[in-house]
Amino acid sequence: MVTLTNRKENLKNSKNPDRLSPITERFEAVFGTAPTFIASAPGRVNLIGEHTDYNDGYVFPVAINKYLNIAVRKRSDRRVVLHALDVSESCDFSLDARTPIPHQTPAWSRYLIGVASLLQASGKQVAGIDAVITGDVPIGAGLSSSAALSVAATLAFLTAASETAISENDKPELAALCQRVEHEFAGVKCGIMDQTISLLGQENCGLFLDCRSLEYEHVPLNLADHAIAICNTKVKRELATSEYNKRRAECERGVEILRRWLPGATSLRDITVTDFKKHEEELPALTQKRCRYVIEENARVVAAVSALKCRSEGTSSRTDESLIAFGNLMNASHHGLRDDYQVSCTELDLLTDIARDITGVVGSRMTGAGFGGCTVSIVRNDALETFQTRVTTEYHQKTGIEPEIYLCHVSNGAQVF
């Protein structure tokens, strides 16, 4: 087990302790003393496997070097006092309150209230805290700022209460708890991918996750000659929550109908592309499109992971072919999201079209819930300057919007410093 003293050494030895200095200074300005520790959780980008997680399917996300940080000091009472720097809002509540959510509470605070409530309900020890919250995971961009907030809050409450490290074996259970926070306190019926990758991310690896069994495998990316480029449309995802829940309901309806011919199916995960083609005409047109996308996307994730494994093991020529195959699967994923699942938008389609027209771009697709947010592209390093120039110029010419481009490293999961 790692004590807080050990964590201070961890902070000194971390690759980028400077990113934690500003929040330490702000905590001191607000509370008049230094924080005891900082809980830090990364955002994520999903390379392939979108909208499959809540269908018990496969996903392949990576944690990125953008973080949600919570600076914390344990209190002697049962109060929780929170200051969110990026939105200039504050909130406080009691861990013993009968009504968990105070009247007119800020939306972001629901995640911390939810974490505290569910941790206590599960029998975990939770302590009162003073906390300052800030980060650089873009809000509303589809990079899982809400999951990062829930995960960082979970580490904050548990660490304040016990001063011991979270074990690797505990992380899947904590991911499930953070998923419940989204369901019960934010009203979003999300899958478990975002919380899991935020906790279990590993540097330079993607996480091949089975969202039914929660079995996972860290798969080396070997992208030394390439970068992951995330492009923000700057379009707010106003429809994402309501349409997200509609897509989930449509998928469940498809399973219910297909069970007449495939009685063993409990989710779209259980249906192969071959079996679906035999019975797809029995489904209403809209339901058919939704189910087709999810079933084909599951197959694409498996093929994409297989391509990366060949890349790790193969010769240089076979390695190049494998990465090309991975990129083609990313492109096909976007086409399915655009045409069958219908969660893309004009701006997302434009960004992927611009990217794919640039020599050195392996593949490009929308990522996240859709209706705005971001695209993700794999770009050869020697093409990055051209990529940034053309994406910025051409997107602005056609939309009048200046996109944001994040060149990201694949990072480790949540930590306490």
* pLDDT tens-digit readout, 141-199: 778 899 999 999 999 999 999 877 778 888 999 999 999 999 999 888 788 999 999 99
Neighbours of 342 (CB within 10 A): 17
pLDDT digits (tens, 9 = 90+) for 327-383: 999 999 999 999 999 999 999 999 999 999 999 999 999 998 888 889 999 999 999
Given CATH 3.40.50.300, say whether it is the number of domain 226-408.
no
Chain segment 284-343, per-residue pLDDT in tens: 999 999 999 999 999 999 999 999 998 766 654 555 888 999 999 999 999 999 999 999
pLDDT of 100-125, one tens digit each? Answer: 676 678 999 999 999 999 999 999 99
Rg (CA), the chain: 22
Start and end residues for every CATH 3.30.70.890 domain found in the chain: 226-408
Tell me the pLDDT of the chain averaged across its residues.
90
CATH architecture of 4-220: 2-Layer Sandwich (3.30)
Model confidence at 239: pLDDT above 60: no
| pLDDT at residue 187, rounded to an integer | 83
Long-range contacts of 74-79 (CB under 8 A, 24+ apart): 74/36, 74/127, 74/128, 74/129, 74/160, 74/161, 75/127, 75/128, 75/129, 75/130, 76/128, 77/128, 78/128, 79/128
Residues of the chain with CATH 3.30.230.10: 4-220
Residues classed as catalytic: 194
- Tell me if 265 sits within 8 A of 258, measured CB to CB: yes
